[in-house]
Structure 1
């Protein structure tokens, strides 16, 4: 408990009952043994992430459009029993359109870990 003796300052934060309930729930789910330690960990190691909902919506729309296009190609292949080179190229292009923003998102999330 050597570290606790160094902690001579007191931090007081006001929260609503709902906020306290949320904090306690997160603390319980953390597996940590002390609420003070949990709060310190969140202050020093936690992240505030701003998510641009419009970008996520754009990515979702893109993924849905790609899935629809791939389904149309699969349907055509099932009906005709033929797979066309153009269809395979289109699937590759669609995959590339989705891959780039997903890799960008992956890079941003990976930066949070460091």
Structure 2
């Protein structure tokens, strides 16, 4: 009998890994497996473990980005209200928003660099 590479691969896999998951975790795994287009759940899980990435973002940094975005949104809203009521937009308002946007770029660039590293 001639063994195909697929059969040889299966024969080399003699170890089992068993772990517990909650109902919600199992549902999430099954949904991701179904969306993956892969035919074997074992191949799917093996691929996710061997080739997947774990991305951990700092909650503190995410909260800071959220705070900065909220500040910018509030300032833009205040300028819009003032512009609608007076018909004027002040240079100081625009300068303040530009400064706030510059502050948010640094953490966003950091997150972008972390995500780009995953591609390689």
TM bucket normalised to smaller: 0.7 to 0.9
Return the match for 2:16 from 3, 11, 22.
Answer: 11
In structure 2, the CA distance between the partners of 1:20 and 1:78, relative to structure 1 (3 Å rule), is closer
Equivalent residue, structure 2, for 1:110: 116
CA deviation profile, 1:14-64 (whole Å, cap 9, x unmatched):
223534443222211212111121012101111112222222112111110
Equivalent residue, structure 1, for 2:46: 40
Equivalent residue, structure 1, for 2:68: 62
Using the TM superposition, give the Cα deviation of residue 4 of structure 1 relative to its aligned residue in structure 2, in angstroms.
Answer: 4.1
Unaligned 5+ residue runs, structure 2? none
* Whole-angstrom distance in 2 between the partners of 1:22 and 1:4: 30
Aligned partners of 2:61 and 2:107 also within 8 Å: no
In structure 2, the CA distance between the partners of 1:75 and 1:4, relative to structure 1 (3 Å rule), is farther
TM-score normalised by length of structure 2: 0.81
Question: Pairwise mapping of residues 68-87 of structure 1 onto structure 2 (< 5 A)?
Answer: 68-87=74-93
Worse overlay, 10-19 or 97-106: 10-19
**CA RMSD of superposed structures (Å):** 1.9
TM-score normalised by length of structure 1: 0.84
